[in-house]
Amino acid sequence: MKAREYAATVLRREPLSPHLVRIVLGGLEGFASSGVPDEWVGLVVPGQFQSRYYTVRSWDGAELVLDVVVHEEGLVTEWASRDCVGEAVRIQEAKGSFAMPESAAWLLLVGDLTAMPAMARILESVSASTRVWAEVPDDLTGYLPEGTDVTWLEPPGPGESALAAVVEGIDWPEGEGYFWMAGESAQMRAIRKHLMRERRLPSTAYDVMGYWRGGGRRQPRAVDPGPIWRAGKAAGRSDEEIWAAYDAEVSR
């Protein structure tokens, strides 16, 4: 089914750091937030038919804020790198997947630059004790809420990520918590295996999303893991089989 679309106009373009640009959109008649703090929308820029996914950094009923990574080369990257104020874009309906159980006493957030908007918004919405690992090429002091316990990491190189190794070395807190992570897809697949095989976490204890694919390959689709998860469980599949089905859907 085709995603519902909303017409929007770029009201402002504000560089936040060398690789992150804030795009503020207006218009969006009828748009509604899903209320899920990692919610994303599809963005279709002028002259294009394909969408790219961006986290709703904020929506106040009038202005929609997206923080866009400008990397080496890409459709939205090129558009967001130049003055785009006044241009008309299309936004697709919001979806989210963060599902922290009420019983979770702590939260771990791990991500690269593309995950910063979601991590900032999640931090604004939870009160549990939270630790963050952020792999970013720029100084983003002040981007996350004040007082956030954050470990800043440098990416190994442009368009590269080493987050999987970082997560494997985390000193895991005791008791019940929630783990959320987003970034380069191959890193995310490695981490899901680690969470299932080494940490033996139940599927309700984590959400790990591939946001982009390195190595110049086609970008993953944004797929809400919830329905795939429920269908897999109903069919009696293992966690590993269900995540394999999710990966196949993302790569389709």
Q: Does 246 bind ligand FAD (CB under 6 A)?
A: no
The piece of 1-9, 23-31, 102-110, 212-220 that touches ligand FAD (CB under 6 A) is: 212-220
Rounded to whole angstroms, the maximal C-alpha distance in the chain is 51
Measured from the CB of residue 229, what is the shortest distance to ligand FAD in angstroms? 16
In the complex with ligand FAD, the residue whose CB is nearer, 27 or 95, is: 95
Q: Does 55 bind ligand FAD (CB under 6 A)?
A: yes
Here the contacts of 174-178 (C-beta below 8 Å, separation 24 or greater) are 175/105, 175/106, 176/101, 176/103, 176/104, 176/105, 176/205, 177/104, 177/105, 177/106, 177/107, 177/108, 177/128, 177/205, 178/100, 178/101, 178/104, 178/106, 178/107, 178/108, 178/128, 178/205, 178/206, 178/207
Measured from the CB of residue 235, what is the shortest distance to ligand FAD in angstroms? 25
In the complex with ligand FAD, the residue whose CB is nearer, 9 or 77, is: 77
The piece of 24-32, 47-55, 121-129, 133-141 that touches ligand FAD (CB under 6 A) is: 47-55
Q: Contacting ligand FAD (CB under 6 A), which of 30, 35, 86, 216?
A: 216
Residue 178 near residue 101, CB atoms below 8 Å: yes
The piece of 7-15, 66-74, 125-133, 197-205 that touches ligand FAD (CB under 6 A) is: 66-74
Measured from the CB of residue 173, what is the shortest distance to ligand FAD in angstroms? 26
Q: Does 53 bind ligand FAD (CB under 6 A)?
A: yes
CA 195 and chain centroid, separation:
19
The Cβ-side half-sphere exposure at 98, using a 13 Å CA radius, reads 27
Q: Does 155 bind ligand FAD (CB under 6 A)?
A: no
Residue 133 near residue 166, CB atoms below 8 Å: yes
| Interface ranges with ligand FAD (CB under 6 A) | 40, 52-55, 67-69, 71, 73-77, 114, 117, 159, 209, 211-217, 219, 222
